[in-house]
Structure 1
Amino acid sequence: MKASLLELDPQADALLILQKPNLHSSHLSIDECASETIIDWMSQDSMYPEPEEDDLANVNEEMRSLKPCLENGDPNQVVFRVSAKHLCLASPVFRRMIQGHFKESEPNDQGLLEIRTSEWDAEALVIILDIIHGHHSSVPKQPSMDVIAHIGIIVDYYDCLEVMKIFFQHWHSSIKIWEKYSTRPSESSLDWLDPTAYGLPPLRHRIKPFDYEATTGLFMAWIVQDQARFRDLTVSAVLSTDALVETALPIPVKIFGMSFNAR
């Protein structure tokens, strides 16, 4: 159990300093009403220990309320006490920073390494750090899709899917947007047969509009390597859009480029 929100390791040998927290959080926000229906709240099982709901709510609210800058205009920052070993095991990016010839590998006056990062969604970063440090009872069972998207961005940047995979796959499988993109025929029918011969509407008319929700789903399917759902959403992007899809999510440009060229 953590002694405090910012202390991930009571014997910390490093400080992870998040500067300008939540700088891009508003750029990814989903409509709140839509967001509430995305996660199947009632289907969650007991794979995780039950956290104190009030404590988690307070932590999440505290992280969401952080501003990128202070009132005087100076950058805001949050300092987490972390284990360098845990970070190195979880992420080759952190490992290169800490074990390479970078300033992060040199301890400060207190003997602690200082690892700086910036602009991440603070709530998402706390969840990742909790998982990396084994504080699984502090991890929410069902983060909003917006938070999951931010987690995916950080996981992609630090290349730490392996340590996150069991949580990410559980959240991923609980997302209800997949139902919107599962109405097409089987792959063999889609590839070789005319759906109208089976009393189905033309494929283009059955494809849902490719909106922010779908883009986030595509990103998540790509992160967890869910080929079936990734294919469904790629088909939707090809058939329901007339131009390249714009997004702040770090989806490789070549994916949208290939989809656009497939038209």
Structure 2
Amino acid sequence: MNSPTHIIDPDGEAIIVLRNPNSSFAETGAREITQSPSPPSTEADSMGSIAGVIRNGNAESHLQKPTVNPPQVEGAADELTPAEEPPLRTVPEEAVPEEAVPEEAGPEELPAPFEDPVEMDHAVNESILENPLHADIDDKPAEPCFRIQVSAKHLILASSVFKRILTGGWKESVQYLKQGSVEIEAESWDLEALLIVLRVIHCQFSHIPQKLDLEMLAKVAVITDYYECKEAINLPASIWIPALAEPIPTPSSRDLTLWIWVSCFFQVPGWFNQATSTAISCSTDRISNLGLPIPTSLMKSINDRRETAIGAFIHELHTMRDEYLHDIRGCSYECRCIMYGALSKNLQSNSLLQLPVPPFSSFSYRRLISDAKSWICPDLVERSSFYRDNHSYSCQQSSFQHLFSGHRDTIDGLELNDYVCDKTKTG
């Protein structure tokens, strides 16, 4: 085996070969996965390699390298073959005047013909073999690769995935049993996150950071989930989670999705409830799992609750408007006219007069409630026939602040017990 770039166990029998390291992680717009990617759990195709399934949580398909076709040379010799020369016409001597023929004039020289077509074809083929285009393809720089020396026994003990790789009849297990050493390929993981997980598996706690930011904690969780070694990670996670000082973002964002993933995987009920509440209340569109192995049922619950809340409030606004129109709401004719007009104008200015439909893009529940409470209604003035003067009239049905005072701008979050983010506990 080649020399390792990182040594976790100097006496380790296994080398984890990390290719395409530090690839993009949880990018906005990433293809959403419907379930956590799972390594094979059976021993079918026992001689197959598991290397092809070691990938990151983005679950993106591998791209095939484009093939470069050499230029077509078929018929090249034919194109270079000179055209046949027309036969020379002879002119009788008496037909040509004597003075018209110079003394030293000879027959006009014709251009030399090309080389033999067969030789030309051979030369063209040789030039193609020496084409620098092919040399450029062969001389491409090698992709970055890290080789991490680890203990196979530690991997087998801590991870059910590594146990299947090394003992389950795969190509790697056959190599390990025959040679006593083995290479296990992995792809796209963040190098630092992978090293943290491997050091935890090898109980090297003095080499493990005491604090992780949200991004790194999410990466560690994805790797832990994939290799099914959460039991080994639980101890350091109990230190990382309380030390995470980053606040849960109020507006919906990529970090909010990371919070949902981390709080779900590491089972932190308070974080989970707050993060899902923010996602339901503040999102302006359906949220995606960003390629993270967040349960589909969880993402569906968040999006469904958001759309249900927004749809219910918009329906309430239109029902209220109809009640003013049909004299069901309001204390007087003037009150109903003013409130019907004011409500119609505010609905129009907020793009709500025509009923929007799910997923209610650009609308958030919190913003809708906040805006509705701040809508302005003209003062209602009552005319007194006895004193022939006007004075302001107070009506609870003519104040948007009063009408919507019972509406909270925050929707309760989800309960963690209703969802399982650890695939080892499913089924």
**Would you say how many aligned residue pairs link Structure 1 and Structure 2?**
191
Which residue number in structure 1 is paired with residue 255 of structure 2? Answer: 213
Q: 2: CA distance between counterparts of 1:100 and 1:219?
A: 30
Match of 1:233 among 272, 275, 286: 275
Which residue number in structure 2 is paired with residue 155 of structure 1? Answer: 224
Pairing 1:88–2:131 present: no
Match of 1:256 among 299, 312, 318: 299
Match of 2:143 among 54, 72, 75: 75
**Secondary structure of 1:104 counterpart:** helix
The within-5 A match list for 1:96-111 is 96-107=164-175, 111=180
Which residue number in structure 1 is paired with residue 204 of structure 2? Answer: 135
Which residue number in structure 2 is paired with residue 222 of structure 1? Answer: 264
Say whether the 8 Å CA contact 1:24–1:120 is kept in structure 2: no
Say whether the 8 Å CA contact 2:155–2:201 is kept in structure 1: yes
Q: 2: CA distance between counterparts of 1:98 and 1:21?
A: 23
Q: 1: CA distance between counterparts of 2:24 and 2:175?
A: 30
**Secondary structure of 2:147 counterpart:** strand
Deviation at 1:222, TM superposition (A): 0.8
Which residue number in structure 2 is paired with residue 32 of structure 1? Answer: none
Which residue number in structure 2 is paired with residue 146 of structure 1? Answer: 215
Deviation at 1:226, TM superposition (A): 1.3
Which residue number in structure 1 is paired with residue 17 of structure 2? Answer: 17
- Equivalent residue letter for 1:166: L
Which residue number in structure 1 is paired with residue 233 of structure 2? Answer: 164
Q: 2: CA distance between counterparts of 1:241 and 1:233?
A: 11
Say whether the 8 Å CA contact 1:15–1:80 is kept in structure 2: yes
Deviation at 1:98, TM superposition (A): 1.0
Which residue number in structure 2 is paired with residue 175 of structure 1? Answer: 244
- Equivalent residue letter for 2:262: M
Q: 1: CA distance between counterparts of 2:163 and 2:218?
A: 24
**Secondary structure of 2:7 counterpart:** coil
TM-score (norm: length of structure 1): 0.66
Provide structure 2 residue ranges, at least 5 long, that are not aligned to the other structure.
Answer: 29-138, 307-427
Q: Deviations over 1:203-223 (max 9, x none)?
A: xxxxx2121222111111011
Deviation at 1:130, TM superposition (A): 0.9
- Equivalent residue letter for 1:220: V
Q: Deviations over 1:114-141 (max 9, x none)?
A: 2111110001001111111121111112
Structure showing greater radius of gyration is 2
Q: 1: CA distance between counterparts of 2:241 and 2:27?
A: 21
**Secondary structure of 2:225 counterpart:** helix
Say whether the 8 Å CA contact 1:98–1:105 is kept in structure 2: yes
User: Structure 2 vs 1, CA of residues 257 and 229 (structure 1 numbering), >3 Å: closer, same or farther?
Assistant: same
**Secondary structure of 1:12 counterpart:** coil
**Secondary structure of 1:257 counterpart:** helix
Deviation at 1:243, TM superposition (A): 2.2
Deviation at 1:5, TM superposition (A): 6.7
**Secondary structure of 1:17 counterpart:** strand
Q: 2: CA distance between counterparts of 1:164 and 1:157?
A: 13
**Secondary structure of 1:213 counterpart:** helix
Deviation at 1:110, TM superposition (A): 5.5
Say whether the 8 Å CA contact 2:213–2:244 is kept in structure 1: no
Identity of aligned residues (%): 29
**Secondary structure of 1:221 counterpart:** helix
Match of 2:192 among 110, 123, 146: 123
Deviation at 1:151, TM superposition (A): 0.8
**Secondary structure of 2:292 counterpart:** coil
Q: 1: CA distance between counterparts of 2:14 and 2:235?
A: 26
- Greater Cα offset, 247-256 or 114-123: 247-256
Deviation at 1:21, TM superposition (A): 0.8
- Equivalent residue letter for 2:155: L
Q: 1: CA distance between counterparts of 2:276 and 2:214?
A: 19
Q: 2: CA distance between counterparts of 1:72 and 1:171?
A: 41
TM-score (norm: length of structure 2): 0.42
Say whether the 8 Å CA contact 2:26–2:292 is kept in structure 1: no
Q: C-alpha root-mean-square deviation of aligned residues, in Å? A: 2.3
Q: 2: CA distance between counterparts of 1:226 and 1:237?
A: 16
Which residue number in structure 2 is paired with residue 196 of structure 1? Answer: none
Provide structure 1 residue ranges, at least 5 long, that are not aligned to the other structure.
Answer: 29-70, 182-207
Deviation at 1:250, TM superposition (A): 2.4
Say whether the 8 Å CA contact 2:5–2:146 is kept in structure 1: no
- Equivalent residue letter for 2:240: W
- Equivalent residue letter for 1:234: T
Say whether the 8 Å CA contact 1:244–1:257 is kept in structure 2: no
Q: 1: CA distance between counterparts of 2:285 and 2:204?
A: 43
Deviation at 1:111, TM superposition (A): 3.2
Identify the structure with the greater helix proportion.
1
- Equivalent residue letter for 1:18: L
